């Protein structure tokens, strides 16, 4: 069964999920996110997920609160009950493939299902944190291709080409040209090298068109600033 068929309705989603905090990383519907898992508490999280529904919520820590409120401190590595604040909007993903390595690490491929809002914390008896989730505000995420016709594709590709050229990066344009608008926009957002705030803005964009427009604006701002790097390839 395809992923969008398995999770085609809000009723098919769980009421809670373990959360994996990642600064500067997001996941979006029907986009992929490779993960390198090595911390014991998160190895335990993924082990438990593999034994149950294979679902994990990816969320960014909210470091803005940590910078402005001296009462907020980083949680101890062995404590799930620490006070590290989290962003409210996360993305529920499913483990699609995994590999256990001899050194104890786990390499995981996660596929996005839908964005969701974190509710109350339900952590109990685990080293990792778990939260109630709701996806009611993101029901359109469950519909593959929703909003694709509104995406300014040519403008997005032009901005991408200019951005890559300025940074001396290469891309497989034959592969990119074959991508429908949804995987194109969401994959670019997930892979983009921007900071936590820009990433969260891409995650929280209300529509696919709005996300594409943010990507275009970020690329144009980067070009205007004259920033450049060199020597890599975008697949």
| Residues forming beta bridges with residue 112, ordered by sequence position | 29, 93
19 touches 27 (CB < 8 A): no
Angle, helices 196-204/208-225, rounded to nearest 10 degrees? 150
pLDDT for residue 65: 63
pLDDT for residue 146: 95
Within the chain, which residues score under 70 in pLDDT?
A: 65-83, 227-235
How many whole angstroms separate alpha carbon 108 and alpha carbon 50? 11
DSSP state of 168: T
Domains and their CATH numbers in the chain:
3-142 (2.30.130.40), 148-234 (no CATH)
Question: How many CB atoms sit inside 10 A of residue 76's CB?
Answer: 9
pLDDT for residue 229: 47
Tokens of 42: 């998160």
pLDDT for residue 233: 35
How many whole angstroms separate alpha carbon 40 and alpha carbon 207? 37
The structure's pTM equals: 0.88
């Amino acid at each position: 069964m395809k992923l969008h068929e398995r999770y085609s309705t809000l009723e098919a989603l769980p009421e809670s999920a373990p959360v994996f905090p990642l600064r500067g990383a997001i996941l979006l519907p029907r986009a992929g996110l490779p993960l390198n898992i090595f911390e014991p508490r998160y190895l335990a999280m993924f082990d438990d997920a593999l034994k149950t529904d294979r679902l994990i919520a990816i969320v960014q820590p909210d470091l803005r609160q940590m910078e402005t409120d001296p009462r907020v401190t980083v949680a101890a590595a062995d404590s799930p009950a620490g006070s590290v604040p989290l962003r409210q909007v996360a993305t529920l993903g499913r483990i699609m493939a995994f590999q256990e390595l001899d050194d104890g690490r786990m390499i995981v491929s996660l596929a996005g299902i839908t964005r969701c809002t974190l509710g109350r914390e339900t952590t109990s008896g685990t080293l990792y944190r778990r939260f109630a989730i709701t996806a009611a505000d993101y029901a359109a995420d469950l519909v593959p291709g929703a909003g694709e016709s509104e995406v300014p594709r040519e403008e997005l590709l032009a901005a991408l080409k200019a951005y890559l050229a300025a940074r001396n990066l290469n891309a497989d344009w034959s592969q990119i040209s074959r991508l429908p608008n949804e995987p194109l926009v969401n994959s670019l957002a997930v892979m983009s090298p921007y900071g936590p705030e820009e990433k969260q803005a891409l995650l929280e964009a209300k529509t696919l068109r709005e996300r594409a427009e943010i990507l275009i604006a970020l690329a144009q701002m980067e070009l205007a600033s004259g920033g450049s790097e060199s020597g890599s390839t975008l697949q």
